[in-house]
Chains A and B, each alone.
Chain A
Amino acid sequence: MIQVVSLVGQASAAALPSILDVSGNLWLDVALKVVAIVALFLVAPLAIGYMEHKVMAHQQARFGPMDVGPHGTLQLVADGVKFMQKEGIVPRAADRWVFGMAPAVSLVAVLVVFLVIPFAPGLWAQDLDLGLFYVLAASSVGVLGVLMAGWASANKFSLIGGVRAAAQLIAYELPMVLAAAAVAVQAGTLSLAGIVEAQATSLIPGTSINVWYVFPQFIGFALFYVAALAELSRPPFDMPIADSELVFGFLTEYTGIRFGLFLLAEYAGMVAFSAILTVLYLGGWQILPGLAVPGCDGLFDCRWWGTLLAFGVTAGKIAALTFTMIWVRATYPRLREDQLQRLSWLALIPLSLLNIAVVAAAKVVL
């Protein structure tokens, strides 16, 4: 992690400028970016959580929350208030410090991912030359929070949950990184904004239509998607929680606001991974392949309403991807622990190796 930060410091000089650099004063800019990112970090999970409530309910022939606010829109706000009111119980045998820090570790790991995601032309806190590497490294730290929670709770179910999370991380980190590496190979850059640009400029020979990487690398997209579900411990890969086996896994001993923070981290993680998928495979803020955003000349030169529209396009793609994650959750039963490991080591990792080999070969040949 420390190495990554120092690398980030070296790399930031060559990065693309952000439209949030308004004043020229470093600390003012930093404050502005932090406020913007934290606001997004707090609001987006509310929307995603509401979508999860509603989509899952309707897929199960129910209505979901209906009473708090119009059609239950304020349900999660009410839940947040409730979490804050509840007593934060720490088990007597628990390791107090680790127990208390675990939600923060999970949360910060996701929060820092938001820093580099390009939502629209210039609409990012910081474009890093090592953006993709940074994102993968930071998102892996979230699992450390889960492991900390499981270990510090002094509860055997929590511990099993935490260890399962660690095993899951090891198994699914590999296909995810290999799939992302294939994208980096094809794009020729690790900068997230650079990858969007590369997708906008990689034309089908003889036409002016560009290709998003989801088309040549559909296997990579599927691998990354499945691995992201596993990283997030989302069903059908929620063995670290597995209510039918482990009470509530690593969350068993958590109450009140700490539990709420874990929940927030999960939803924010869904947003973050959907955003990464959008950037890596779905062309970022492009509406359709070959169709530029109205109000923009090219990819990066946009008027203010073009930027807003581009942000809307990105948000729409993120929402569509999170919808599929919820859809998958409502449809599939949880895998068994051995099935989870088997799927990764015997199917996803060989596939991802094949994927990166083919992409690299194609890159050299074409």
Chain B
Amino acid sequence: MKLSAPKPKVPGLLKGLGVTLKTMLTPAVTRQYPHVKPDLAPRTRGVIALMEENCTVCMLCARECPDWCIYIESHKERVPPATEGGRERTRNQLDRFAIDFALCMYCGICIEVCPFDALFWSPEFEYSTYTIGELIHEKERLREWMDTVPPPPPLEEGAEQPPELGAALERANKERQAALAAQRQATEQAARGGPAGPARGAVREDEEIEVEAEVDQDVYQALLAEGKSERVARARAKAAYVRKEKARIRAERAAAGGGA
């Protein structure tokens, strides 16, 4: 079978010359890159940045990395209890976090899997080096890239605010209102010429009392006799000790304040 194409109006040889001539006369689209910086899309994936404060050393990124190019080292650290009578906690302290960009294939899986928002894409891309070893970026370098991460894109029109953002905003608002109220009160009192109220000073003192938690042996024995478990008994005994101590200190201070 012979395929017959329609005969072109202009011979192909001349048409080809026309194409090249036309291309020559239209401006070239080449960007003069080192002299003229490229205008990249805002969410360009150039380099991976690490928000070190957010990292909990959960190792998810390192385990999901298809190239095994993330190196994480850490040790455990004891943290004093957050609440009185609480238990000492252990926390992972990050020692080393490095990404070998010579191995990285920029798939972004580490950023996808990070549950704590510690890894981000940064649009920076000019970090080529003369030696391959320099392509391993340690956590200090990765933290520096964090400064180049653009803010998240604005929410869509009419979108619901994320709950954590809403809560944070509400708290900030409340604090600002309180500060404003306090300022107004202070100016009013200054106008009246009276001294600051003593009640507020007492409250502040109460908050400042710090007590080293110890087990109150009487309460502990009583609770054990009641049949509570050792753990619960110890916790409650500690709490009772702290309460008793605080009450004692408060009474002492009140006596000293009254004496003065």
Q: Which residues of A pack against B, CB within 8 Å?
A: 55, 57-63, 66, 327-328, 330-332
Given A61-B26, A332-B13, the answer on whether A66 and B20 have CB atoms closer than 8 Å is: no
Contact A58 B23 (CB under 8 A): yes
Task: Give the residue of B16, B17, B24 whose beta carbon is less than 8 angstroms from that of A55.
Answer: B24
Contact A66 B28 (CB under 8 A): no
Task: Give the residue of B20, B28, B32 whose beta carbon is less than 8 angstroms from that of A327.
Answer: B20
Query: Does B131 touch A at the CB level, under 8 Å?
Result: no
Measured in the bound complex, the distance between the Cα atoms of B28 and A57 in whole Å is 9
Residues of A within 8 A of B32 (CB): 63, 66
Query: Does B29 touch A at the CB level, under 8 Å?
Result: yes
Task: Give the residue of B20, B26, B28 whose beta carbon is less than 8 angstroms from that of A331.
Answer: B20
Contact B30 A59 (CB under 8 A): no
Q: Nearest Cβ distance between residue B19 and chain A, in whole angstroms?
A: 7
Residues of A within 8 A of B5 (CB): none
Query: Does B255 touch A at the CB level, under 8 Å?
Result: no
Task: Give the residue of A61, A66, A332 whose beta carbon is less than 8 angstroms from that of B29.
Answer: A61
Task: Give the residue of B16, B26, B30 whose beta carbon is less than 8 angstroms from that of A63.
Answer: B30
Contact B16 A332 (CB under 8 A): yes
Query: Does B21 touch A at the CB level, under 8 Å?
Result: yes
Residues of A within 8 A of B30 (CB): 61-63
Residues of A within 8 A of B24 (CB): 55, 58-59
Closest chain B residue, CB of each to CB of A55: B24
Apart from A62-B28, A331-B17, list 6 A-B contacts with CB within 8 A.
A59-B23, A61-B29, A62-B30, A63-B30, A327-B21, A332-B13
Residues of B within 8 A of A63 (CB): 28, 30, 32
Contact A331 B19 (CB under 8 A): yes
Interface on chain B toward A: helix, strand, loop, or mixed SS? helix
Q: Mark contacts of B20-48 with chain A using CB atoms, 8 A cut-off: 1 yes-contact digit, 0 otherwise.
A: 11011010111010000000000000000
Contact B29 A331 (CB under 8 A): no
Task: Give the residue of B13, B16, B21, B28 whose beta carbon is less than 8 angstroms from that of A61.
Answer: B28
Interface on chain A toward B: helix, strand, loop, or mixed SS? helix
Q: Nearest Cβ distance between residue A50 and chain B, in whole angstroms?
A: 15
Closest chain B residue, CB of each to CB of A324: B17
Residues of B within 8 A of A332 (CB): 13, 16
Measured in the bound complex, the distance between the Cα atoms of B24 and A250 in whole Å is 31
Residues of A within 8 A of B17 (CB): 327-328, 331
Residues of B within 8 A of A327 (CB): 17, 20-21
7 closest A-B pairs (Cβ-Cβ)? A59-B20, A58-B24, A59-B24, A331-B16, A331-B20, A63-B30, A330-B20
Closest chain A residue, CB of each to CB of B18: A331
Closest chain A residue, CB of each to CB of B16: A331
Residues of A within 8 A of B20 (CB): 59, 327, 330-331
Q: Mark contacts of B220-251 with chain A using CB atoms, 8 A cut-off: 1 yes-contact digit, 0 otherwise.
A: 00000000000000000000000000000000
Measured in the bound complex, the distance between the Cα atoms of B74 and A140 in whole Å is 78
Closest chain A residue, CB of each to CB of B13: A332
Q: Nearest Cβ distance between residue B14 and chain A, in whole angstroms?
A: 10
Residues of A within 8 A of B16 (CB): 331-332
Residues of A within 8 A of B23 (CB): 58-61
Residues of B within 8 A of A328 (CB): 17
Measured in the bound complex, the distance between the Cα atoms of B24 and A64 in whole Å is 12
Closest chain A residue, CB of each to CB of B26: A61
Residues of B within 8 A of A60 (CB): 23
Task: Give the residue of A57, A59, A62, A66 whose beta carbon is less than 8 angstroms from that of B21.
Answer: A59
Most interface-central of B17, B19, B23, B24 (chain A CB within 10 A):
B24
Measured in the bound complex, the distance between the Cα atoms of B216 and A104 in whole Å is 106
Measured in the bound complex, the distance between the Cα atoms of B17 and A63 in whole Å is 19
Residues of B within 8 A of A57 (CB): 28
Measured in the bound complex, the distance between the Cα atoms of B236 and A125 in whole Å is 115
Residues of B within 8 A of A330 (CB): 20
Contact A58 B28 (CB under 8 A): yes
Sample 19 A-B pairs with CB under 8 A, ordered by A number: A58-B24, A59-B20, A59-B21, A59-B23, A59-B24, A60-B23, A61-B26, A61-B29, A62-B28, A62-B30, A63-B28, A63-B32, A66-B32, A327-B17, A327-B20, A328-B17, A330-B20, A331-B20, A332-B13
Closest chain B residue, CB of each to CB of A66: B32
Residues of B within 8 A of A59 (CB): 20-21, 23-24
Q: Nearest Cβ distance between residue A235 and chain B, in whole angstroms?
A: 12
Measured in the bound complex, the distance between the Cα atoms of B20 and A55 in whole Å is 10
Q: Nearest Cβ distance between residue A62 and chain B, in whole angstroms?
A: 6
Most interface-central of A58, A60, A66, A328 (chain B CB within 10 A):
A58
Measured in the bound complex, the distance between the Cα atoms of B26 and A125 in whole Å is 42
Measured in the bound complex, the distance between the Cα atoms of B17 and A168 in whole Å is 24
Q: Mark contacts of B109-123 with chain A using CB atoms, 8 A cut-off: 1 yes-contact digit, 0 otherwise.
A: 000000000000000
Residues of B within 8 A of A55 (CB): 24
Measured in the bound complex, the distance between the Cα atoms of B32 and A328 in whole Å is 27
Measured in the bound complex, the distance between the Cα atoms of B19 and A327 in whole Å is 11
Measured in the bound complex, the distance between the Cα atoms of B24 and A55 in whole Å is 7
Measured in the bound complex, the distance between the Cα atoms of B20 and A331 in whole Å is 6
Measured in the bound complex, the distance between the Cα atoms of B77 and A309 in whole Å is 89
Q: Nearest Cβ distance between residue B138 and chain A, in whole angstroms?
A: 35
Measured in the bound complex, the distance between the Cα atoms of B173 and A189 in whole Å is 102
B residues 173-205 near A (Cβ < 8 Å) are none
Closest chain A residue, CB of each to CB of B31: A63
Residues of A within 8 A of B28 (CB): 57-58, 61-63
